[in-house]
Amino acid sequence: MPQTHETDVLIVGAGPAGLFGAYYAGFRGMSVTLVDSLPEIGGQVSALYPEKAILDVAGFPNVKGRELVNALVEQAASANPTYLLDRTANALTLGDETVTMGLDDGSEVVAKVVVITAGIGKFTPRPLPAGDGWENKGLVFFVPSFEEYTGKDVVIVGGGDSAFDWAHQLTGIANSITLVHRRDQFRAHQATVDAVLAGPTDVITKAQVTALVGDGHVEKVEITKDDGEIVVKPAQAVVAALGFVADLTAMKDWGLEFDKRHIRVDTTTRTNLPRVFAAGDITEYEGKVRLIAVGFGEVATAINNAAPLVFPDQGVFPGHSSEGS
């Protein structure tokens, strides 16, 4: 049965910026609810790069995506946030003192302010043409955990960062790794490409996976090269790393001002809509740099500038977290 949730702050997007925003909302004494279209917390980092080393977060010389998300979840727990996962925010209604967000399951969230930290928006994986009917039968689009691939033959399709990151990380875990790309040039970071090419991964270029074969579960794949040669590889797992399609339709329908694919904000991270802020990769302003570290600062700015709307007797400046404890 559809429910109505009431909260001080609604954060749309439970990635790193959203999680830090939840902590900060709690620090300012606000109740907070997070909505995310993905079924797990952590946004794109959890879905795409859980084992990738992240090197540009202050205070962490080297931290894996999963470890960073786990630490952010632990930090956000102090705010006792409500998580509404696997649900898409699709309808926004502005009131005098509240904003109501409708979700795709029929429920709604009534909040005093909204902070959008949706990254690239709702995103869905590009399909593997030969993979129709094989999803959950060996075909996947994400690799959130490597242990389940121990001793398996894995075929990865794609030439971007995700494909090469997963090929690199599965080295020494999987029995064999084959990476298939339709071109002989790659979009991945060159250092990772070099590491994969120097390792045991069989990289097949100018080719496409044209068939998955098996009895109820994939057992092998057929790879067709541009010259017509067909290569058959054993595979108990096929990872389609072909990129994602971002869907910003709902947010554009809300009346937000966009700069191409990003929400335009001012120096306080306010959007053109009252009581609606935005932070992280989804935003645009002059001099914008899209880093996780920048998103942390932006969402803290958003929450602090939202505070007077939640508590009219409070100012923007939060005080220091080390005070009074």
- Residues of the binding site for FAD: 36, 44, 49, 89, 123, 281, 322
- Which residues face 153 on adjacent strands? 176
Q: CA of 123: how far to CAs of 4, 27, 36, 98, in Å?
A: 25, 30, 11, 28
Residues flagged as binding site: 36, 44, 49, 89, 123, 281, 322
Q: Cα–Cα distance between 272 and 262 in angstroms, integer?
A: 13
- Asked if residue 271 lies in contact with residue 264, where contact means CB atoms within 8 angstroms, the answer is yes
How far is the first Cα of the chain from the last one, in angstroms, to the nearest whole number? 42
Encode 109-143 in three state secondary structure: EEEEEEEECCCCCEEEECCCHHHCCCECCCEECCC
The two structure tokens encoding residue 73:
């979840």
Q: CA of 226: how far to CAs of 229, 272, 318, 321, in Å?
A: 7, 50, 61, 60
